[in-house]
Amino acid sequence: MPFVRIQLKEGRTPQQKEELAKAIIEKMEELKFASPDAIRVIYEDIAPEDFYSGQEK
């Protein structure tokens, strides 16, 4: 069972996440990587105060 874990800053809507998850699952099925019922897409939202970059000032 493949798990696709996506970490991103908070702010995406449930609809955006669903659309992306469906596209990922569809592509994995197209590539015969796994069957759709076996794939899990997991989102981890990161609060802005928990995300830092060396480029931010």
> For residue 52, what pLDDT is reported?
86
> For residue 30, what pLDDT is reported?
97
* pLDDT > 90 in the chain, percent: 86
Asked if 47 contacts 27 with a C-beta cutoff of 8 angstroms, the reply is no
Report the alpha-carbon distance of residue 4 to residue 21 in Å, rounded. 9
Report the alpha-carbon distance of residue 29 to residue 23 in Å, rounded. 10
> For residue 57, what pLDDT is reported?
56
CATH superfamily of 3-50: Macrophage Migration Inhibitory Factor (3.30.429.10)
Summarised one tens digit per residue, pLDDT across range 30-41 is 999 999 999 999
* pLDDT > 70 in the chain, percent: 96
> For residue 56, what pLDDT is reported?
61
pLDDT at 4 > cutoff 90: yes
Domain spans of the chain, in order of start: 3-50
